[in-house]
């Protein structure tokens, strides 16, 4: 997939304070109250990033914990390390990088926008303050790490699947994860080319797989996106 050149400005340069609606789209914020919520709201920033821009780059220090409000992102290795491998996609409502932020490490992966996206960021220092002062925030991060572990175990299993239709099904299931992508709802706005890029198949082959899944009654293909009819079948069904 070819992307337009970067705008030359960082996401931080384009950052602004979030609107009330954007705050309502942050899943962990509603669990906070009192000083914890006030501190989080005061620290959060939101920025728009064009297709092709990187939110996180291999080797750079983690300064924010990021979440996707709108758009679509992909997590991958760096092409300097060999062929590019996509680890997972990030759909609306998904927050990512908490492991790196927890350890105050440098990123070991890239996060890139597949289309124009709106991203929220919480400074690392605020992240750690919330860990020290909020049980609700700790619970969210703990659940996030647990679900992320399950997601990457599933990703290893997907790599061994030779059936392209099942590869597409399992990758779709990951994008519709109710805890890791809570704002997707029943319909995911995604093009066949974007899905092909995440799955590692040609757009034509993805189109064939989607037709098969639709015939099985697992999904419905809608204008500009996909509706899940049977999430459990996407996760574990056989074709």
The tens digit of pLDDT for each residue in 15-43 reads: 899 999 999 999 999 999 999 999 999 99
Domain ranges of the chain: 12-153, 163-236
Please give the biggest Cα pair distance in the chain.
52
Q: Model confidence over 81-136: pLDDT tens digits?
A: 667 778 888 999 999 999 999 999 999 999 999 999 999 999 999 999 999 999 99
CATH class held by domain 12-153? mainly beta
Instruction: Characterise 34 by phi-psi region: left (phi > 0), alpha (psi -120 to 50), beta (else).
Output: left
Residue 173 has pLDDT above 70, yes or no: yes
Nearest alpha carbon to residue 108 among 55, 146, 56:
56
Residue-level pLDDT at 82: 66
**pLDDT the model gives residue 4:** 41
Domain 163-236: give its CATH architecture. Orthogonal Bundle (1.10)
Count of CB atoms situated within 10 Å of the CB of 199: 21
């Amino acid at each position: 997939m070819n992307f337009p050149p970067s705008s030359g400005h960082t996401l931080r340069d384009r950052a602004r304070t979030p609107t009330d609606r954007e705050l309502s789209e942050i899943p962990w914020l509603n669990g906070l109250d009192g000083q914890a919520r006030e501190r989080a709201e005061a620290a959060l920033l939101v920025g728009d990033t064009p297709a092709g821009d990187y939110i996180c780059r291999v080797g750079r220090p983690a300064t924010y914990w990021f979440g996707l409000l709108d758009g679509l992102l992909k997590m991958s290795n760096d092409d300097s390390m060999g062929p590019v491998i996509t680890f997972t996609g990030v759909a609306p409502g998904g927050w990512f990088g908490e492991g790196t932020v927890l350890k105050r490490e440098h990123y070991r992966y890239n996060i890139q926008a597949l289309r124009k996206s709106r991203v929220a960021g919480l400074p690392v220092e605020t992240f750690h303050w919330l860990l020290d002062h909020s049980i609700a925030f700790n619970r969210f991060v703990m659940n996030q790490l647990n679900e992320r572990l399950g997601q990457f175990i599933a990703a290893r299993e997907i790599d061994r699947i030779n059936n392209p239709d099942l590869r597409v099904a399992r990758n779709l299931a990951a994008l519709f994860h109710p805890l890791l992508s809570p704002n997707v709802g029943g319909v995911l706005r995604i093009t066949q080319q974007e899905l092909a890029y995440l799955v590692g198949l040609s757009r034509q082959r993805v189109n064939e797989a989607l037709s098969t899944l639709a015939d099985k009654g697992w999904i419905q293909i809608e204008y500009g996106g996909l509706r899940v009819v049977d999430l459990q079948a996407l996760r574990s069904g056989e074709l």
